[in-house]
Amino acid sequence: QQQVKQSPQSLIVQKGGISIINCAYENTAFDYFPWYQQFPGKGPALLIAIRPDVSEKKEGRFTISFNKSAKQFSLHIMDSQPGDSATYFCAAGRETSGSRLTFGEGTQLTVNP
Amino acid sequence: ETGVTQTPRHLVMGMTNKKSLKCEQHLGHNAMYWYKQSAKKPLELMFVYSLEERVENNSVPSRFSPECPNSSHLFLHLHTLQPEDSALYLCASSRDINSPLHFGNGTRLTVT
């Protein structure tokens, strides 16, 4: 009930390509879906978040797509750059409990020049 | 640079040692957290402190002992650890327990 499933585990994309990472959740009470970005040697940092009242949120090259009926959400990175190479974690929780998150297992993204 | 500072960055300890991890936040937040990050596994929430009171303890073995002397500092005291405790230990803080998390850069712990 509390799991968040993330795929793929690793992803290699060419510079300029689109990176897509998918997550699925089980708990229908979840209403807050953030993505975290983690560079080697650093802690995770909040990248972008979405609430289920919208189906898409875009910030620069990063877009979250949300499908409430399927209980799935995904991160799209447009025009991927080598500097985007990092581990990406999706998470889910209640907006009123923004710190109480269930995290996915992470996706290691490599963007080749 | 992160507003959450963790020391040391790396720690190697034997199974009979006693050591402590330190976390300090400079963000004026009221909640602090310890997470364990192991390879290819989701982040595991270990402890939550709000206004220096422990509000959550997620079935963590007693060989891990947290301490929060004030809202800016958090410690994780370690004793008689096992090799499977080797991981990256992340500290985080938030304005309150309902607000988004700000992570430190972690302490890479190796238990030999």
The model's confidence at residue B1, banded by pLDDT at 50, 70 and 90, is low
Do B43 and A44 lie within an 8 Å CB cutoff? yes
Q: Work out the percent of chain B whose per-residue pLDDT is above 70.
A: 98
So what's the pLDDT on residue A95? 76
Alpha-carbon distance of A17 to A82, in angstroms, equals 11
Q: What average pLDDT does the segment B13-25 reach? A: 93
So what's the pLDDT on residue A52? 84
pLDDT at A98 over 70: no
pLDDT at A88 over 90: yes
Among B51, B4, B6, which Cα is nearest to B25's? B4
Q: In chain B, which residues have their Cβ closer than 8 Å to the Cβ of A4?
A: 42
**Tens digit of pLDDT for each residue in B21-46?**
999 999 999 999 999 999 888 999 99
So what's the pLDDT on residue A77? 98
What six digits make up the tokens of B16? 């009979």
Which 3 state secondary structure label does DSSP give B112? coil
The residues, ordered by sequence, that sit 6+ positions from A112 with a Cβ below 8 Å of its Cβ are A12, A13, A14, A15, A82
DSSP letters of B26-51?
-S--SEEEEEEE-TTS--EEEEEEET
pLDDT at A1 over 60: no
pLDDT at A18 over 80: yes
**Tens digit of pLDDT for each residue in A26-85?**
998 899 999 999 999 999 999 999 988 889 999 999 999 999 999 999 999 999 999 999
Alpha-carbon distance of B31 to B97, in angstroms, equals 6
DSSP letters of A17-68?
S-EEEEEEE--TT--BEEEEEE-TTS--EEEEEE-TT-SEEEETTEEEEEET
So what's the pLDDT on residue B39? 87
Lowest mean pLDDT, pick from A48-52, A98-102, B107-111: A98-102
Q: Between A2 and A99, where is the model more confident?
A: A99
Does B43 lie at the interface with A, CB-CB under 8 angstroms?
yes
Do A103 and B101 lie within an 8 Å CB cutoff? no
Q: In chain B, which residues have their Cβ closer than 8 Å to the Cβ of A47?
A: none
The model's confidence at residue B52, banded by pLDDT at 50, 70 and 90, is confident
Question: If you measure CA to CA, which chain B residue comes closest to A49?
Answer: B100
Which B-chain residues 57-96 have CB contacts (< 8 A) with chain A? 90, 92, 94
**Average of per-residue pLDDT values in chain B:** 92
Q: In chain A, which residues have their Cβ closer than 8 Å to the Cβ of B98?
A: 96-99
Q: A-side interface with B, Cβ within 8 Å?
A: 4, 9, 34, 41-46, 49, 89, 96-106
The model's confidence at residue B70, banded by pLDDT at 50, 70 and 90, is very high
Q: What average pLDDT does the segment B58-69 reach? A: 92
What six digits make up the tokens of A101? 């998150």
